[in-house]
Amino acid sequence: MNRYLGKLRPLMLVFALAACSNQGLLAPPTHASQPFFQRQISEKYPAVREYLGIPFAKPPIGDLRWRAPQALDSVDQHKNTAQFAPACMQTRGGVEWYEDVAGAFGHGPEVAPEPESVSEDCLYLNVWAPANHKSRPNDELLPIFVWIHGGGNTSGWSYEPNYRGAALANEGIVVVSIAYRLGIFGYFSHPGMAADKQAHIANFGLLDQIAALQWIKENASSFGGDANNITVAGESAGAANIGYLLATPSARNLFARSIHQSGSFELYDEHTLRDVQRAAQTLLPNPQANTASRQLADLRALDAKQLLALADEKYPDAFNYPVADHSLLPTSVLNLYERRNNPPRNMLIGSNDDEWYMYLEPPVTEASIDAWLTDELPGADHARVKALLVPYASDRIRLDKLAGGKIFRCGGYYLAARNTEQQGQSWVYHFSRSREGIGGETLRAYHGAEIPYMFNTHDHWLPTSTEDTRLTNTMMGYWLNFIRSGNPNGDGLPTWPMFSKENKLVQKLDATTESIFAPQAELCEFLMPNKDYSQSD
């Protein structure tokens, strides 16, 4: 199951072994008079319209490869179609992930979703909005929910079936899903870029996300949306990217609040720009043969499919994430929170009970756990950590709690607590629902399992019981309340307490929904990204 392994390979390697200039950023477009093309979704959601394949920047092709997204020409600003645009260039890793999940539930690969095409020309977004939305200045505008897809920043696309926003939009919000450059196309730097003083030198996928958010703020009222009430959300790499957006000064005013689903591993990222540029040399057969500018020109001249194949063979997975470049992204996300100078936010953060379980190939033994501990923790901590693992039923579950805890859960606790300390408000969830049948027994509450519940987009091949439907209604209620007001609590829902360092309560999302003490909180004392925080209890 390598969709998220592509994303997390750099983390597996790690675990196993000043104001920014806006120069080069996309200038927000101005309104055009022609309307967006819209179509009715279906009989199930007659009050919702969808707007597909809207460009938010010029195609990043030719000389625009590895440059900041460029503003659209006025004639293109309101172009869109009745179909989704191509997905960004990627391998089949995302599709194979779906195939493996479907296989666990007894289905063949034919049920797995797949984009119709992939292309370097992929900077498009999609909108779902109530059909009777209002766009006059004095009318009530609707909250906006912006989804950043996961997939390791190497795969995934904005309109995977689980990400389509009709059910949420039917509840009176505007839903937007955005694309961004992936892998070598989005997260790459080369010494030759420094010669162009007008260009950015890294973080093109992050720049795409900023450009999309700028476009959304500028055009929000065209769909009845409130530009001052934007919630940005994402899962896995999408959630990690939100962490980078929070550390990017030019992005801070583009959204009001954030939802982080199975992310927070960006807190552990210590790669430097020099690391990424050194990795770029692996793409060249003879790195010393030409000047840096010539090398970069040769790489830009490659066909997109050639470059993708070359990167798949030679470019390290560890460098498919944003990196501190001392311009767009001044410092690491962890440094930002350690310095306590991040503006307070309202955040909804969480993880799933068995995040890493699906990636642990049997047999997993006590020796596997010992090897992980040797790589990750001081020897003096090993006995205490192993004592905390005793209650779990198998070595595979124990190793999941270690690896999944460090990658997703403990960082989420840290982020939530730090945000609360800095006068923000944080709510944390723990999703522990396993589907019924053999698939649920095989995968448990796996990485990504929560998405069909909060979007209400259950795949036809997933067994969905009355309990799953009840949980869907609960989670949609929480997410919609947070999107509207910044607080998940509301009428008819179990009370969800705020999370803090002193009050580590989380909302368990399962057949029953209740507040519990944060799972593995004691274990996180050894796994937190900042030991001073974790030992302060």
Element (H, E) at 271: none
Kindly report whether the peptide bond that precedes residue 363 is cis, defined as omega within 30 degrees of 0.
yes
Residues 153 and 212 in one domain: yes
Q: Which of 236, 332, 432, 534 is catalytic?
A: 236
Residue 14 has pLDDT above 50, yes or no: no
Could you tell me the CA-to-CA distances from 488 to 172, 191, 349 in Å, in that order? 16, 46, 11
Tell me which residue range forms the domain holding 156.
1-343
Residue 26 has pLDDT above 50, yes or no: no
Q: How many CA atoms lie within 13 A of 144 on its CB side?
A: 28
Residues 327 and 361 in one domain: no
114: number of Cβ within 10 Å: 17
Q: Tell me the pLDDT tens digit for each residue of 298-350.
A: 999 999 999 999 999 999 888 999 999 988 999 899 998 888 777 889 999 99
What is the reported pLDDT for 501?
Answer: 94
Q: Can you tell me the distance from the alpha carbon of 483 to that of 226, in angstroms, rounded to the nearest whole number?
A: 12
Residue 19 corresponds to which tokens in the numbers above?
A: 């104001």
Q: Tell me the pLDDT tens digit for each residue of 44-90.
A: 999 999 999 999 999 999 999 999 999 998 777 778 888 999 999 99
Residues 84 and 125 in one domain: yes
H helix intervals, 343-463? 366-376, 379-389, 395-404, 410-421, 438-443, 451-455
Residues 162 and 104 in one domain: yes
Residues 451 and 528 in one domain: yes
Residues 129 and 149 in one domain: yes
Residues 86 and 230 in one domain: yes
Say if residues 499 and 428 touch (Cβ distance below 8 Å).
yes
What is the reported pLDDT for 444?
Answer: 98
Domain-terminating residue out of 320, 343, 366: 343
Q: Which residue has the higher pLDDT, 28 or 480?
A: 480
Q: Can you tell me the distance from the alpha carbon of 208 to that of 136, in angstroms, rounded to the nearest whole number?
A: 29
Element (H, E) at 100: helix 93-104
Residue 21 has pLDDT above 50, yes or no: no
Q: Tell me the pLDDT tens digit for each residue of 188-242.
A: 999 889 887 667 899 999 999 999 999 999 999 999 999 999 999 999 999 999 9
Looking at the structure of the chain, the number of domains it has is: 2
CATH of the domain at 175: 3.40.50.1820
Write b or e for each residue in 5-25: b if 16 or more Cβ atoms lie within 10 A of its Cβ, otherwise e.
bbbbbbbbebbeeeebeeebb
Say whether 119 is catalytic: no
Q: Tell me the pLDDT tens digit for each residue of 108-157.
A: 999 999 998 999 999 999 999 998 776 545 568 999 999 999 999 999 99
Q: What is the mean pLDDT of the chain?
A: 89
Residues 509 and 383 in one domain: yes
Could you tell me the CA-to-CA distances from 347 to 1, 213, 350, 471, 525 in Å, in that order? 30, 18, 10, 21, 22
Element (H, E) at 87: strand 87-88
What is the reported pLDDT for 304?
Answer: 97
DSSP 438: H
Residues 300 and 364 in one domain: no
Residues 389 and 442 in one domain: yes
Q: Tell me the pLDDT tens digit for each residue of 482-531.
A: 999 999 999 999 999 999 999 999 999 999 999 999 999 999 999 988 65
Residues 268 and 380 in one domain: no
Q: Tell me the pLDDT tens digit for each residue of 150-203.
A: 999 999 999 999 999 999 999 999 999 999 999 999 999 998 898 876 678 999
Find the length of the chain.
Answer: 537
Domain-terminating residue out of 301, 316, 343: 343
Residue 220 corresponds to which tokens in the numbers above?
A: 């929000």
Domain-terminating residue out of 343, 373, 399: 343
Residues 225 and 281 in one domain: yes
What is the reported pLDDT for 137?
Answer: 55
